[in-house]
Amino acid sequence: VAAALTPAAARAQAATVLYDDRVISVERTLADPNDLWIPPADLQRVNGFVLGPRGACLKDDCTPVPQGDSKLRVTRGGQTWFNVTELARQIGQVFVADYDRGVWSFGEVPAARQDFVQGVMAPDFELPNREGKPVKLSDFRGKKVLIITWASW
Amino acid sequence: VYDTLKGQNFELITVAQDMLGEKATAQWHDRAKLTYTTLIDVHHRVSSLYNLVNVPAGVWVNEQGQIRRINHGTFSPAYPNTAYNGAGYAAALTDWVKNSDRSPFIWSADEVRAHIRRRTDDQALSVPTFKLGLYFFGKGDETLARQYWEQAQKLDPDNWSFHRQDWNLTEGLAGPKFNEKRKGIGNEPYYEPLGLPAARPPN
C-alpha cells in the first residue's frame, strides 16, 4: 500500500492515449511497467473496440477474449482491467509509450485499413476549414474530388 | 482550372499540412481568392491516412469514394512548385472530370494499389511516434517533441514530411537542411514522377 502512494505510482494511475489524432484521458489504470490496462468500460472510447460475446470487436473483426484471467483481461480486487497494449500486439497495431508521463500513442489498426490498401477506397477524414467548421471528405460523395496536400514549408 | 471544373460535379479540396495551423497558412490562403474547400491539417492526418510521405500530393477520388490516381509529392522538374497547376496535370484532370472512367488518365485498381506506399513495421511505428512528438509540442515541451520526431525520422528516413515539419520550426534551418538531405540522395528522384501518358490519345 505504501508503494502505491509514491508520486511515481500515483502518476502512473492516470494515462493519456493518442489514437486516430484524438487525445483520450483515462482516469484509472492498473499499475504495470510495460502494459496499459484500462477499465473495460473505457475501451470503446479509447480505440473504438466493443467487448461482446465474440470478444473485442472493431465492426466485424473480433479478437477472442478468454473467460477468466488472461493476457487480455484480469480481475484484481473486484475491478476488471483490459489490456489495450496486448490487444494491439495481437492485431498487429503498433504503439509507442512515454512511460514517465503516461502517454501511449497507437498506430493504425491494420484490419481497418484493408478497404484502403486492398480496396483502394479513399479513407474518410474530417478536418476544420479556415473558419473552423468541420468538413468531411464523405460530404462530397457523388462528386469527383481532387485532394491536394501542401504545406507552407 | 478549378473555375472551369467546379460546375461539373467536381470539388477541389486543399489540405494545408502544418502543425502551426492557420497561423502558418493564413498568408498563403489570403494571397489567393479561394473558392474551393481549404482545410487545415495540424496532425498531418491526410498524409497518415493515405500513407503519403511528402507534399504536395494529389489524390483523385471518384463519385463512389474510390481512388483513381494518387501522386506523391510531385513537382514538375521544369517548373518547381507548379506541377499541380501545370498544363499537363490540368489537362489530365479536366479529361477525368469530363470522361470519368473512360479517361486514359485514371489508374486501374491494381495501379492504385501499386502506388499506395506499404509501411514496414518501423515505418508504421514512425507515425504514432511522430504524433507523440506533436502532442508534447502542443503541451509546450519542444525538447521532448524533438526527441520523438528524431526517433520518427530514424524509423522512416524516407518520410520527408517528418523532416521538413521539424526543420521548419527553427528559423533558417529548413533551407540548408533540406538541401543537405536532398543532396544526400544523389540522383534518386526526390519526388515521384507524375506518370502522365506522354500524349493524349484521340477522343
What are B51-109's pLDDT values in tens digits? 998 888 899 999 999 999 998 755 444 444 445 656 778 888 999 999 999 999 999 99
A21, A117, A121, A149: best mutation site toward chain B, by most B Cβ within 10 Å? A149
Q: Strand pairing partners for A79?
A: A76
In single-letter form, the type of residue at position A4 comes to: A
- Between B50 and B83, residue with greater pLDDT: B50
For residue B76, the model assigns a pLDDT of 43
Nearest to A59 by CA among A111, A17, A94: A111
Query: Residue B132's Cα: distance from chain center in Å?
Result: 21
Mean pLDDT over B133-146 rounds to 94
Kindly state the average pLDDT of the residues B169-174: 52
pLDDT tens for A78-129 read: 999 999 999 999 999 999 999 999 999 999 999 999 999 999 999 999 999 9
Q: What does the alpha-carbon distance between residue B39 and residue B24 come to, in Å, rounded to a whole number?
A: 13
CA distance B115 to chain A (A): 10
The band of A75, judged by pLDDT with boundaries at 50, 70 and 90, is very high
CA of B169 vs chain A CAs: smallest distance (Å): 10
- pLDDT above 80: residue B177: no
pLDDT of residue A80: 95
How distant is the Cα of B70 from the closest Cα of chain A, in angstroms? 9
- Res A141: pLDDT: 96
Here the ipTM equals 0.90
Q: Are B28 and B121 in contact (CB under 8 A)?
A: no
Q: How far apart are the first and last CA of chain B?
A: 20
Categorize the per-residue pLDDT at A64 as very low, low, confident or very high, splitting at 50, 70 and 90. Answer: very high
For testing contact with chain A, the best of B37, B64, B120, B160 (most A CBs within 10 A): B37
Cell 474551393, residue? B36
Q: Above 80 in pLDDT, residue A44? A: yes
Give me chain B's average pLDDT, please: 78
Q: Please give the pLDDT value at position B126.
A: 95
Q: In chain A, which among 104-133 make CB contacts under 8 A with chain B?
A: 105-108, 116-118, 120-125, 127-130
Helix (H) or strand (E) holding A13: helix A7-13
Could you tell me if A100 lies within 8 Å of chain B, comparing CB atoms?
no
Quick check: B1 pLDDT over 80?
no
pLDDT of A8 higher than 60? no
B121-129 mean pLDDT: 95
**How much of chain B is in helix, strand and coil states, percent to nearest 5?**
50, 10, 40
Average pLDDT for residues A6-15, to the nearest whole number? 59
**For an interface test with A, which of B132, B179, B182 has the most A Cβ atoms less than 10 Å from its Cβ?**
B132
Residue A56 has pLDDT above 70, yes or no: yes
d(CA B25, CA B18): 8
Distance CA B55, CA A85 (A): 32
Distance in Å, alpha carbon of A108 to nearest chain B alpha carbon: 8
- Residue with cell string 498568408: B27
Contacts A144 to B, Cβ<8 Å: 9-11, 60-63, 96-97, 100
Q: Which residues of B touch A148 (CB under 8 A)?
A: 12-15, 56-58, 84
DSSP A55: E
Assign B198 a pLDDT band (cuts: 50, 70, 90).
Answer: very low
Q: B15 pLDDT exceeds 80?
A: yes
Model pTM? 0.83
The H-or-E segment that residue A93 falls in is none
Q: Is A149 on the interface with B (CB under 8 A)?
A: yes
